[in-house]
Amino acid sequence: MRESERYTKGMFSWIGYKKKEITFDRDPRLAGEVKQNYKKLIDLAVNGITSFSTTPLRISSFLGFIVSIVAFIYLIVVILKATLSGDPVAGYHR
């Protein structure tokens, strides 16, 4: 499996490993600082959502289609307004 960014939790589920929860109490950090900041954690969450699901692609395709339809309707309105009433189109000068 060739991946540029490997989201291992998703890969383990995808290939069929069984998962089991093990709870434990962790001691507080003795030295150093946490290396993961909120930006990195959000990037990891987005990577996990988009790597193993087609839902984000379907949502963006649907929204793109809706925006295209609205833009096309607005184009027709502007053209009809310019031709029928003689109003100039914004950004167009003769």
Tens-place pLDDT, residues 4-52: 666 666 676 667 777 788 899 988 888 888 888 889 888 888 877 777 7
| Local structure of 82: helix, strand or coil | helix
The answer to whether the beta carbons of residues 52 and 14 sit under 8 Å apart is yes
Burial class (CB in 10 A: 0-12, 13-18, 19+), 48: middle
Query: Residue 72 — very low, low, confident or very high, per pLDDT cuts 50/70/90?
Result: very high
Domain boundaries in the chain?
A: 7-24+34-53, 60-94
pLDDT in tens, 74-90: 999 988 888 888 777 77
Is the distance from CB of 10 to CB of 54 less than 8 angstroms? no
Distance CA 77, CA 90 (A): 13
Q: What is the pLDDT of residue 92?
A: 61
Identify the pLDDT of residue 3: 60
